[in-house]
Each structure stands twice: as structure tokens, then as C-alpha cells.
Structure 1
């Protein structure tokens, strides 16, 4: 039925009211879908549909998640897991807060920053105990230790917390900092160029380019946030604890299997990564990942977190002026409640 109109053809007050109500209803529905209604995972064929947002392009840092997808571990726990690749500026916290993904992979220092910004993001498992962050230098650069970096040019991604840590400790004094564009190309022609890197990836890339390199591990200086951390929201923990428990178990089991036999998952990662990844690089990365995930050679270390490590990290970030201790409590950043596997 057409809306009633006056003799001039203009909508009556009643019709304008009805149109306004209809418009508001549509807007409200869209808002709810955006900020809240997407939080609850759907059920498909008896399986709980879950989305996991990666913090970077698919690489070995996500090996455990791919492992549990390809070998059916998640499905055995009644989960249907979809992996969402990340990139250079993946909005992890918004993806979780708006419910487009129920879980994500990130680093522990990012969790602290998310919470400082008001996002209720919580770590539920940490796959990698020692962070792979390093500074990569050529063997012929003359750099043997951190104090030798003076006079070098460092290609880095501005705004990363580890840079604040290095600057606070004086390790970047007299170091020229320039943007990092995701490549070690600058090192090929200039021995005085260093790049930020992960020890599980860039050293092999450099070797393939004919460069002899060495790594300065940032963790050796005391900056060592957990990495490859599985996170979710406080809402998921409160409203869907059994889903969280299943996801934690599946992810930790996947990592333990991946660290022993990564070939199947690496094949899936290679298929998903269209940014120059190679099978050789993934094999190298998986080998380098083992001592980082299992510093004592024990598979039971995988996934574990301690209050001491989180407290130290939050304190360090407070000293760097990155967070306010009155707003971010270490105990709010993580929970081990789902690690009793």
C-alpha cells in the first residue's frame, strides 16, 4: 500500500514519521551488526564457525593455526576455523571489538597497547616464548655488538615499541633511522645499512642474496614480549568460554605438532602467501622457531604465560611512556584459565 499523501503530493506528517522510523530501524540494525551483533560465532553443520585474524601475511609465525586447520584438529573440537590474512596495517583490535573475527594472532606488547587504547583484548595462549625480533647487519659491517651500531643507517618501521626500548637504552645513539619497506635490498649495496628483522625469516633471504649476516637479538637486552599470541575479547571469554577453551586447545596442539613436523602446514601457508614466500624460507623459519617456542626443548612450554613476564612487560612500557599503569593492569592483559589442557 502506498503511503498516504496530501493533495499536493507531499508526504503527510504520519507518512514522514513512518519513513523516519523505518530509516532509523535500518540504521540501528546496521550499527548493531557493526558493533555488536557479529560477536557470536555462527554454527555451521554442527561446527562452531570461528574467524582468526592474522597480524601479518601468512608465515611461520602462524604455523600452529594452519596446522590445526589442515590436519583437522580444530574440526575434532567442533570448530570450523577460517583464517584471515593480515598485512602492513591490520586493525587487530577493531576486528575483534566489532566482532568480524573472534580470535587473532598478535604480539604481547600490542595487547598492552590495545588495552591502553580501551580495547578489551585478552591473551589466552602464547606460542612463542622468546621473541624473534632482531636487527640484521652484514658480516662485513663492522658491527659485532649493540654499541657498534653508531654510524649505521637503520631501516625500521616507526612506532614500534622495541624501538623506544632501544632508544631508551642508548643503543640507537648516532644511528640514522629511515623507513623500512619490507625488504633487505638496501643492505645489498651498502654495508652500513641495518634492517629490522625476524630471525626466522630475513637471515635466509639475505643468504640467498649472497650476503653473510649476523643478528642482534633484541630479547638479549631484556625486551622479550611473547609473540604469536592467541587473543580474543573479554566478551568471548565471558559469553563463550567453551569456544575459547576449544580454540586454545586446538591452537596449542597445532603448534606442538607444527614444531615437530611443519611440512603439511607450510604447504598451506605457501599457498596462502602471495608475497614472495618460498618453501625453503618456510622450512628455515620452522627450524628457527623451535628454540624460540621451546627454550628448554619441552613441548609443554608452548602456549604458557606467566604473571611475571606480563608484569615486566607492562612496567617496561610504562617506563617508556607508552602506557599508564593506572589504566593497564598486567592481570587484565592475559588469562591462563584455558591452558589447563
Structure 2
């Protein structure tokens, strides 16, 4: 299972390279990314926080970028250092050893697996309240419900196969009535009508196809019993136990909420900040980043956003996450999650 998780993470990153169409630029940026990792002691000084991203700077993290650029962290009395991610740049070890003060992982599996291995970590916020994993079909031949999957050819990555089979079982789909076609994350087989649908992410392949004038239909897995929070914010137990570090982490989440509120209010502005300040040398395209954030936005705000604010993890979401992780072989319980830093 660990190997599957690593493949899922790696493949999603390769899909990002394909979506941007600037693989060479990102590869060249690898040297820069390697030089930006945290190398010193991450023990929090008063008013300073370092956060490690799960991947290279793009609009997936635009709420943080806007938080820095528009002074939301500064108003909290914080100086925030953003540490980019990249190939072979894991997040959980740096947070576990307190070399950085906070981390963002694309999927909660990575934090849960680290905790199962003895790491003392807590998920303290959900960047995505709804999983963007979905079945993507062409608009003129849509897959609208799980039962529509039967009798179809489905393009599936090695990383997504286990998730897809779990989804089918949960929704009463007979896998013997489905033809699984191995593909990469590139949506070309769908565009060429070699398959009827592909497994992917709402903010990725549909955007790439849309930019080519190909309209798609998206069926989120979260709408059919397979949901888990993603883009999770997490810290070490040591941070929660230290008064100064804890207060810094609380302020960091408060500033992140304000940054995300602003990013959602203006996708254009958020994309511009992302490209001009953080992704300047990575070959990111403005129109693509705007569309990616627009596709991602519905997954950021949950039902409790109006009353509790962004990043809040309601009990129902925690239970859904635990259940979904369990269905793919990852053990987690409520002790992995806490809203204490978001409560004020």
C-alpha cells in the first residue's frame, strides 16, 4: 500500500508537468528547489514560521502566497518563510524533526502513514474540504453516475487502480462489466476517444483538455461515498506543546484563512501573485493557473465555511476521511485531527 501511495503522489506531480507543458522548465528549477529546502533548526522563534509545501509553487498554494503578499501574516505579527517542495522533497520528515514548523501534504495518507510509523504529528486544517478525485468523461458522452461506468472502457493509472476498484465496490458497480485500460495521467486517450472516461482530478485533466477546446463532464467520487480531506495542514505535537510555537501556528492558520479568502475572491490576482513571486521561473501560464484555481475553488469551501471559516474540519469530514482511508488500507482515528488552532 505504501508503494501505491508513493506512486499516486509521484504521478500527480508528473501530471502537473504535463498540464503546464513546461517539463523542461520545472526540471531546470529542480536545482533551485533543492537549494530552498530547510536546512537549519526549525524551532519557532517569536513571530517566525516556516511552512513546507508538498510540491512546487502553483495556485494549489495561492492562499499562502496571497497571505504573504497582501500582509495577512504580517498583520498577525508573523514572518512566514515558504519552503517549496519538489521531486524527492518529502514533507513529513521535516515537520516530524521540527526542521520546519508546518507542512502541507496533498493527501492525508502521507501524514497517517508517518504517524503509524511513530511520528508525532497532527492534522490541524483541511485546505480541500472535498476530494477533487473524479471520473472525467467527454461532455458529449458523459459518465454521470457510478452505474454508468458499467459497459465502458476506463482509463486508469496504476496509482489510481486501487481507489477506482474501492469506489466501484462501494457503489455496486460490477468490475467484470468494466474494461480497465492502463494509462498515464495524460488525458490524451480520452481526447482521442480510446476510452470512455479516465480517473483524475477535477482541477487537472479537465483544465488541460478545456484549454484545447475539449469539453468534459466531471463526476466527483466524493459525491458517491468516497471523500477525504486533502491538501492538509499539519504540525508536530512538539509545536502544540510549546506555547510560543503553538501561538505562531495559530496565527499562521489565521493568516492562511485570510489569504485563501482573498485568493477565492480574485482568482486572477491569486494566479498573478503565484506566478510573479513564487513560480516566476517555472514556466507557469497565467490563463492556465486562473482556470486551475477556478476549478479547484469549489473543493476549498465546505458547508461549515460560513460559520467556522476555511480550513475547519467538521466531524462529518473527519469521519469520512477516516472511513475512506480505511477502505484503501490506511488506519487512522480521530486523534490524528484537531481543530484546536482554528478555534482561536
- Do the two structures share a fold, i.e. TM-score over 0.5? yes
Q: Please name the residue that 2:128 is paired with.
A: 128
Q: Distance in 2 between matches of 1:56 and 1:286?
A: 16
Secondary structure of the 2:61 match is helix
Note the C-alpha offset of 1:220.
0.7
Q: 1:312 to 1:213 in 2, by over 3 A?
A: closer
List alignment gaps of at least 5 residues for structure 2.
1-38
Per-residue CA distance 1:132-179 (angstroms, 9 max, x = gap): 221222234463432333442423251687446325436582342525
Q: Please name the residue that 1:254 is paired with.
A: 259
- For the 8 Å contact 1:259–1:289, the answer to whether it is kept is no
Greater relative contact order (Cα 8 A, min sep 6): structure 1 or 2?
2
Per-residue CA distance 1:232-261 (angstroms, 9 max, x = gap): 111111122111111111111211121112
Q: Please name the residue that 2:26 is paired with.
A: none
RMSD of aligned residue pairs (Cα, Å): 2.9
Q: 1:238 to 1:198 in 2, by over 3 A?
A: same
State how 1:1-341 maps to structure 2 within 5 Å.
38-42=41-45, 47-48=47-48, 50-87=49-86, 90-106=89-105, 107-141=107-141, 143-150=143-150, 151-156=152-157, 158=159, 162-163=163-164, 165-169=166-170, 171=173, 173=175, 174-181=178-185, 183-192=186-195, 194-239=197-242, 240-271=245-276, 272-273=278-279, 277-296=284-303, 298=306, 300-323=308-331, 328-330=332-334, 332-341=335-344
Secondary structure of the 1:38 match is coil
Q: 1:130 to 1:321 in 2, by over 3 A?
A: closer
Q: Distance in 1 between matches of 2:111 and 2:160?
A: 15
TM-score normalised by length of structure 2:
0.74
Q: Please name the residue that 2:8 is paired with.
A: none
Q: 1:163 to 1:40 in 2, by over 3 A?
A: farther
Note the C-alpha offset of 1:214.
0.9
Q: Distance in 2 between matches of 1:226 and 1:241?
A: 23
Per-residue CA distance 1:19-54 (angstroms, 9 max, x = gap): xxxxxxxxxxxxxxxxx98241357xxx41x32222
Computing the radius of gyration from Cα coordinates, the structure with the larger value is 1
- For the 8 Å contact 2:124–2:338, the answer to whether it is kept is yes
Note the C-alpha offset of 1:191.
4.0
- For the 8 Å contact 1:128–1:302, the answer to whether it is kept is no
Q: 1:144 to 1:311 in 2, by over 3 A?
A: closer
Q: Distance in 2 between matches of 1:74 and 1:291?
A: 24
Note the C-alpha offset of 1:109.
4.1
Per-residue CA distance 1:288-340 (angstroms, 9 max, x = gap): 344333345737441211233223322343344322xxxx431x211111112
The structure 1 segments of at least 4 consecutive aligned residues displaced by more than 6 Å after TM superposition are none
List alignment gaps of at least 5 residues for structure 1.
1-35
Q: Distance in 2 between matches of 1:82 and 1:339?
A: 20
Per-residue CA distance 1:89-113 (angstroms, 9 max, x = gap): 6422112123332211123344333
Q: 1:207 to 1:191 in 2, by over 3 A?
A: farther
Q: Distance in 2 between matches of 1:118 and 1:238?
A: 17
Which segment is superposed worse, 92-101 or 105-114?
105-114
Q: Distance in 1 between matches of 2:252 and 2:306?
A: 22
Which segment is superposed worse, 212-221 or 143-152?
143-152
